Amino acid sequence: MLFTIIKPRQVVATVATIGLLALTPAQAALFVQELEYDASDSLWGPGGNSFSFEASGSASVGIVDLFEYNIGVDSGTVSASYDGALHATYDDLLSAPGNTTINLDWIPDDARSPFGGFTGGRLNTDLGVYANVTALGAFDILDVDYAVDINTRERPDIPDTLSGTDSTSGASASIDIFIAEAGAELRPNLTSTLNINSLSGILGYSKRGSGVVSTTPFSMTDSGINLDFNLAEAGFWDFMLMSDPVLNNAYSSSFGLDLVIFEEHLTLSGFKYNEKNLGTLVSFPGSAFALSFANSVNLGSFSILVEDIVGSVAVPEPGSLSLLALGLLSLGLTRRRLRPAVR
């Protein structure tokens, strides 16, 4: 059988090395706070649900001398989501009371849909429009009620802009009236823009058991930021977000409804087509307001341990004390064995 013999001095050196490793401060730690923001608001802004936009009138084109119309917007909503995480990088063990720095950074959710595009940043805008157009007081040409919508997907960076436009041809219809064909076309256009400007909040910190909470505000506009703290006493210090960080933003939209009427009839020289664009009859220039984003993820916390300045740990680890005791015992045995015999 093979044995490895370790001399007493080797035992002391080995134990001392292990003890030093056990007392070495930890490397940088990472705290991750997931944040999932959702908002749903009226397109007209806070308190604007009662807004309505409508236009009525009459016009003529070609041989059809009476078109009557009633067009408008009866609803408008905007919804958005913005997902990511707040990363806090810090030293979780300090060798003595004093200053420390915590780095905060926003990490966007860059997950992608199987159908393409990002899923973490989303902007949806829906506009409900309607139109009723008749000719000669008796013939219904156009009678529609439908939604114009914008669906935008982006990587949820800070800062960033999500925008979209929908200016499709809309609804068009025509009917035969005696020797003419009369028709109308509704041409809606919608733009929607969301500017994500910054993420701001308040980071609280407290020496455990003290009952005193201090706060440090922060605002992130591009890359990560550093926050400095003075941990003046040994012991555990707890850090927590005092409330949900605020996703500072500005949203704006605008829309218009254009109406075109037309007719086509047979003449001696062939068919003749006449068209009249009545222009933008309903419009909304929009004004910027903040979407009411709310976070749906519970907030967490993290801690930093500060050692005593004289070298004793404020809250000793049982394993560290055992290693120290073993080292002292080994040192005593070594000195006793090496002491010269007294004759």
What count of other Cβ atoms lies within 10 Å of the Cβ of residue 91?
16
Give the separation between CA 167 and CA 127, rounded to whole angstroms.
12
Tell me, what's the pLDDT at 7?
38
Give the separation between CA 105 and CA 157, rounded to whole angstroms.
11
In tens, the pLDDT along 262-314 reads: 999 988 888 999 999 999 999 988 889 999 999 999 999 999 999 986 654 44
Query: Which helix (DSSP H) or strand (DSSP E) does residue 336 occupy?
Result: helix 318-338
Tell me, what's the pLDDT at 113?
72
In tens, the pLDDT along 25-39 reads: 556 899 999 999 999
What count of other Cβ atoms lies within 10 Å of the Cβ of residue 76?
25
Torsion of CA 114, 117, 120, 125, to 10 degrees: -120
pLDDT of 177 higher than 60: yes
The encoded tokens of residue 62 equal 């070609």
Tell me, what's the pLDDT at 179?
81
Q: Pairing state of beta strands 64-91 and 98-108?
A: antiparallel
Higher pLDDT, 181 or 324: 181
Q: Which residues pair with 55 in a beta bridge?
A: 71
Domain ranges (residues) in the chain: 29-323
- The answer to whether 228 and 245 are in contact (CB under 8 A) is no
Give the separation between CA 218 and CA 198, rounded to whole angstroms.
10
Q: Which residues pair with 123 in a beta bridge?
A: 80, 152
The encoded tokens of residue 17 equal 């090395």
Tokens 């001095």 correspond to 9
Give the separation between CA 255 and CA 252, rounded to whole angstroms.
11
Query: Which helix (DSSP H) or strand (DSSP E) does residue 3 occupy?
Result: none
